[in-house]
Structure 1
Amino acid sequence: MKIEGTLTDEAILGELGARLAQRRLELQLSQGALAAQAGVSKRTVERVEAGATTQMSSMIRVMRVLGLLERLEALVPEAGPRPMELLKLKGKARKRARTKQKPAEEKPWTWGDES
């Protein structure tokens, strides 16, 4: 199954769990062995593979043992400044985000004595 935006969160977690389970089997690891090497409980590994929610630190530990940690770089690549931002910021790092303000709704001007 391809992971795409139309899937529910539960479906995505289930697919990720199945892929992690397949990788574990490719490496000839039992759930208990993976749990011991990752420093998590066997129940945590079972939950991850079943597609249940888990703490991010547990997922990182499991991925490290499975040799998948480097793939997180592709998941969330390091953001670099765009060339125009470099010119505007003059080499300084950006520290705040600004939301675009909606233009104020213009009402026709009146004297105020109309009834």
Structure 2
Amino acid sequence: MGYKNWKRMTDQAIVEELGQRIKQRRIHKRYTQKELAERAGVNVNTIQNLEYGKSVTLAVLIQVLRALKDLDHLDAFLPEVEESPLMVMENEAKPLQRVRKPRK
């Protein structure tokens, strides 16, 4: 399986790709759309919308990933930022609360 060039894809194309991947996972686990909807606590139309590339809420995506037992893949999707030892020392002195850009 090759890697996608996510940067070149439109937002809609990414939503559609994610929907197809959810569908592939559902089929691989031998769930019908109705079974997945019941496990996720959502309407079957919501599963259909997700699989057909229509936008759903982030909460729905999490519910579906949980029902597919795929939440552990979120670490690969968006890994935590690892701080260098120097950054840890700097942050211990004063933890970062917010980021402000200088005015031009």
State the TM-score, normalizing by the size of structure 2: 0.85
Match of 2:35 in 1: 33
Q: Which runs of 4+ in 1 moved over 6 A?
A: none
Matched residue of 2:98: which SS? coil
Deviation at 1:82, TM superposition (A): 3.2
Q: 1:62 aligns with which of 61, 64, 67?
A: 64
Give 1:13-92 correspondences, 5 Å limit: 13-92=15-94
In structure 1, how many angstroms separate the alpha carbons of the residues matched to 2:5 and 2:46? 23
Structure 1 gaps, min length 5? 103-115
Higher relative contact order at CA 8 Å, sep ≥6: structure 1 or structure 2?
2
- Which deviates more from structure 2 when the two are superposed, residues 86-95 or residues 2-11? 86-95
Q: Is the 8 A contact 1:3 1:12 kept in 2?
A: no
Q: Identify, as 1 or 2, the structure richer in helix.
A: 2
Deviation at 1:100, TM superposition (A): 4.8
Q: Is the 8 A contact 1:15 1:51 kept in 2?
A: yes
In structure 2, how many angstroms separate the alpha carbons of the residues matched to 1:76 and 1:2? 16
In structure 1, how many angstroms separate the alpha carbons of the residues matched to 2:5 and 2:67? 23
Matched residue of 1:5: which SS? helix
Residues 81, 93 of structure 1: alpha-carbon distance in 2 compared, 3 angstrom cutoff: farther
Q: Radius of gyration: which is bigger?
A: 1
2:70 partner letter: L
Structure 2 gaps, min length 5? none
Identity across matched positions, percent: 34
Deviation at 1:91, TM superposition (A): 4.3
